[in-house]
Amino acid sequence: MAEIIGLGLSHYPGPLVPAECWPRMLKTNVEKGRIPADLYADQARWPQPMVREWGNDEGLSAALTHHQRLIAGHREMRRRLDDFDPDIVLVWGDDQYENFRKDGVPAFCVYIFDEIVCRPFANGMKGPFRTERNAWDLPTDSTITVRGHRDGAAALMKSLLSQDFDPAYAFEARDEKGLSHAFAYTALFLDYDRRGFDYPVIPLHVNCYGSQMMKTAAREPMLSPPSPSPRRCFALGAAVARFFKSSPWRVALIGSSSWSHGSLTAKHQRLYPDIDADRKRFGELRSGAFRDWHRIELAEIEESGQNEFLNWICLAGAMSELGYRADIVDYVESYIFNSSKCFAVFGP
């Protein structure tokens, strides 16, 4: 008989590298022209909590604490996952111009495969952290193999079509790194202690970036069509829960993303995230009002830089369909590390 658990977590890339590299992200974004140099230089224009977090060591102490809490959160998620021992792990995640580019950007996509080899460290780890090192000192050509569940993914696809959803489907990844980072990092961080991660995974892509995709991910000035609405994401999550509820499998449903991203929050000139919006979402999660997340307008999501939160809204739709409540593991705010993160487990 089917049993289901829900997990909400973050795939923030920070844990890929040593914590002392984290404060470099702000400087890198200034150098790349994403944050105004004068705003970065003038702390009198920063919110006071941000100034305190930056401290007198340019965020190093905050990075060490933030890192510890994220790793503890991922370890607790893995413990809960192992206790549940699922047959399938479905992950709602996003793609940032990795496998979906100018020739096709689906609102949703179900991956159907036996396994995909991912190369999370390919091309080094320079990125926003400007370092070649990864947290495990592994060679840059190291791989992780994500095992799929072809039968479950194919059956889910058929079920969604029968419920009047029209997701795309993919049998392979086109990017040289394999699955997009949202899925690869989720598997990697759930195996942070390198014990192995052999649970079969069904990645379910959500076009979280929508109108920001070409401008933010592809670095082109054009605007793309918008993301699917919170209402549609919530409904899709409910449809996924209905399918697995009647299936023979034990299933873990994961919503993977941080919440508001400073890099997406235009009203703050992309310097820091919308902490007030995150606190509002967190209050709703804690009180059970996540059941109303389908009522959020897409404009509110985009205005607060919570684009990737659509992955959590899919999860909320599934958990609401099942009548589950949230057990908060941790909620980690940050002004200087691009986003706030939340860890939660959902059950009866």
- According to the model, what pLDDT value does residue 212 have? 80
- According to the model, what pLDDT value does residue 124 have? 64
Domain extents for the chain? 3-347
- According to the model, what pLDDT value does residue 127 have? 72
Tell me 18's DSSP state. Answer: -
Q: In this structure, is the dihedral angle defined by the CA atoms of residues 81, 284, 317 and 16, taken in order, positive or negative?
A: negative
Give long-range contacts, CB 8 A cutoff, 24+ apart: 105-108. 105/207, 105/213, 105/224, 106/167, 106/168, 106/205, 106/207, 107/167, 107/206, 107/207, 107/227, 107/228, 107/232, 108/165, 108/167, 108/168, 108/204, 108/205, 108/206, 108/207, 108/228, 108/236
**DSSP string computed for 63-121:** HHHHHHHHHHHHHHHHHHHHHH--SEEEEEE--SSSS--TT---SEEEE--SEEEE-TT
The residues, ordered by sequence, that sit 6+ positions from 21 with a Cβ below 8 Å of its Cβ are 129, 130, 131, 133
Mean pLDDT by 10 residues, the chain (348 residues): 93 95 92 93 97 97 98 98 98 95 94 97 76 90 96 98 98 96 98 96 96 72 86 98 98 98 96 98 98 98 97 98 98 97 98
Quick check: helix, strand or coil at residue 148?
strand
- According to the model, what pLDDT value does residue 2 have? 86
Q: Tokens 């057990």 label which residue? A: 327
* Cβ atoms of residues 120 and 144 within 8 Å: yes
| Assigned CATH topology for domain 3-347 | Protocatechuate 4,5-dioxygenase; Chain B (3.40.830)
Give first-to-last CA distance, the chain, whole Å: 16
Q: Tokens 């985009």 label which residue? A: 302
Question: Rg of the chain over CA atoms, in angstroms?
Answer: 19
pTM: 0.96
- According to the model, what pLDDT value does residue 221 have? 72
- According to the model, what pLDDT value does residue 125 have? 64
